[in-house]
Chains A and B, each alone.
Chain A
Amino acid sequence: MAGTGKAHLRDADKAVLRIEDLVVEFPIARGKLKVHAVSGISLDILEGETLGLVGESGCGKSTTGRAIMQLPRPTSGSVVLEGQDLTKLPSDEVRAIRPKMQMIFQDPISSLNPRRKVVDIVAEPLLIWKKGTKEQIQARVREVLDTVGIDVDQAGTRRPHEFSGGQCQRICIARAVVMDPKVIICDEPVSALDVSVQAQILNLLEDMKHRYGLTLVFIAHDLAVVKNISDRVVVMYLGKMCEVGPPDDLYAEPAHPYTKALIESIPEPDPNVRPEASKVLEGDLPSPIAPPSGCRFRTRCAYAQDRCAAEEPQLRKVREGHFVACHFPLIPALD
């Protein structure tokens, strides 16, 4: 797996955000070695779409999300937002574009300034970009906080520590939405929350998406959560793409051995489904400093053959909108 390719990309005119051959490397040991965090990812997101990025820790999903924001700038590749390649723009112009892209982080409590009041936190981006008069900004903050379910009269002057994790995540969502962004990158937004609160936040994100016409990049390690919210899912492994497809099709019939193993390792809340030891993926993620040659998944793959070590698989179409990077996919490729 762990392949490259662009077969899955759609018409460039329709995409709000298009990433091609994204590579992010971090030098270590005084530049002698490199961590290959992301090695050639291509993605596109249409207006109003939710793209789910899923994979285990260390697969490069968060690095991809941050590279889109140019935080830090990727080593190579292009990130095109509404026709502008961010990687080629100077820093001040990237800064001018950033309001169009917002982020929501995993830990809602530590991503809010503990010393500031809720209304000030949400108003800050508007003040920085001078979006209207004081009254207009106040009204906008009130409106957005209201839609995420925070009552300004009751809670507006409180500080983050007075709220629970779920409410802090609502404030983070309000802060992201208040700038009227094109794209919101959600990096594990529900992983730190309890299940009952997780459902509230997932429903809220879905509501906000419809209300404000948002396009979301949703990064998570929980496959069930990603399935619930996404219109298109990308499965990543060690800095590469394994499989791209619409969630219902991809989960029902995974074409990549890794996707299949990942889905089978999720414990289902049903006592009749007995966990089977044979289906479990053995071993750990290889080191991203010296990743395996060819397909990066081959060291843990039950179907691996000589070709997998020699040649990197390219994304190929298996169904309409469903692509896999594997030499021996579980569904035969169409070409």
Chain B
Amino acid sequence: MTLLEVTDLKTHFKTDRGIVRAVDGVTFTLEEGHTLGVVGESGSGKSVLSRSIMGLLPKFNVIREGSVRFEGEELTAKTNKQLRKLWGTGMSMIFQDPMTSLNPVLKIGRQITEGLMLHFDFRKQQAMETAEELLRSVGIPEPARRLGEYPHQLSGGMRQRVVIAIALSCGPKLLFADEPTTALDVTVQAQILNLLAKQQSERRMAVVLVTHDLGVVAGRTDDIIVMYAGQAVEKASTTQLFANMRHPYTEALFKSIPKLSNPSHTHLDAIPGRPPNLITPPPGCRFAPRCPYAQQKCHDEMPPLITDPNDANHQYRCWFPVQVSAKPAHLVGVAAGH
């Protein structure tokens, strides 16, 4: 069943220098229990997208257009008071930096039980017991003692576990994880990603995993959206996307990552230039100024999202998509088996 349906969502910010088109027409659907990866570089609009869906935007100087339907209900027309009923129980979010997303002057226990007491009318004792259980389930040793501690007494990985426990406390159906591991070390990153996967399968929860790291989404998502300059430039199932990259940006992003499988001193294919200014984006394809395949049409006309003739779930925003034969050699086997 479709849990979330986002149609042509736009989120623009009014600034002194002009209107910043942070998210500029993104459409996707998410099924119950599925995982969607949103990949993009800084400034691509990936974080604003998840905040805009949840309704966590500043009160002023924001223009939000389009539709967000969660379990069939339209969210864009709801007030903050109405959305509060949904935050925590329907959808919740894990933020990038666990230090700034926890309140430094409140004990861990108080922060976890806040949602439980608000949504379920739990008494303090009952809420604390549930919180202890939650901390245990996210792998925190000595959970009873931790409830009485402050965030600064915990390591970064432990803090992120607490943030996850808070996000899971009211049993959401949809979890946004906005760069949940970017501030953490690799070994801790692996622990946290495994924890998220475990909780997701136990709770049959849908997850939107927002990240800049193609490695993080590769093994852990069902579908991927690649964002560039506020737009979804390519959407596909994860296996299809990696096997058959059609948008030149996706391909360039993949090629620019140093890979462990490559020998030392392998020359990296860097993407020249930098992402466009979102106040005055290029009139045509937004990637055209940096694209090695760009032609005159790319600079003049914005390409629509085109559906791949061989795969109805695969869409890309490009006039001259990368040919299938141009895919990275070690992934050829994947395509054949697909």
Q: Which residues of A contact B (CB under 8 A)?
A: 56-57, 164, 166-167, 194-200, 202-203, 206, 221-225, 227-231, 246-248, 251, 261-275, 277, 279-282, 284-285
Contacts and interface: CB of A to CB of B under 8 A. Distances in A.
A195 B41 contact: yes
Given A195-B41, A196-B253, A199-B269, A282 B191 contact: yes
A196 B256 contact: yes
A273 B219 contact: yes
Interface in B191-239: 191, 193-194, 197-198, 212-216, 218-220, 238-239
B271 interface: yes
Nearest to B242: A271
Given A56-B187, A166-B274, A274-B219, A225 B264 contact: no
A46 B261 CA distance: 26
A126 to B, nearest CB: 29
Given A199-B271, A202-B268, A272-B334, A261 B256 contact: no
A24 B261 CA distance: 35
A77 B84 CA distance: 59
Contact of A197 (B187, B257, B267, B274): B274
Contact of A271 (B238, B253, B256, B269): B238
Q: 7 smallest A-B Cβ distances: which pairs? A: A267-B215, A199-B270, A265-B190, A196-B271, A199-B268, A199-B256, A56-B185
Interface string B242-282: 10000000001110111111111111111110100000000
A211 B239 CA distance: 42
Contacts of A231: 264
State which size class the interface on B falls in.
Answer: 35 or more
A281 B184 CA distance: 14
Contacts of B264: 227-231, 246-248
7 contacts: A206-B267, A228-B258, A228-B262, A229-B264, A272-B239, A272-B334, A274-B219
Nearest to A201: B270
Contacts of B256: 195-196, 198-199
A273 B260 contact: no
A228 B268 contact: yes
B12 to A, nearest CB: 22
A223 B213 CA distance: 14
A203 B218 CA distance: 25
A284 B155 contact: yes
A199 to B, nearest CB: 4
B215 A269 contact: yes
A268 B218 contact: yes
B42 A194 contact: yes
Given A203-B267, A247-B264, A267 B216 contact: yes
Contacts of B163: none
A194 B259 contact: no
Given A268-B259, A281-B187, 18 more contacts: A56-B185, A195-B256, A203-B268, A221-B185, A224-B258, A228-B258, A230-B264, A265-B186, A265-B190, A267-B215, A267-B218, A267-B220, A269-B242, A271-B238, A272-B239, A281-B191, A284-B158, A284-B188
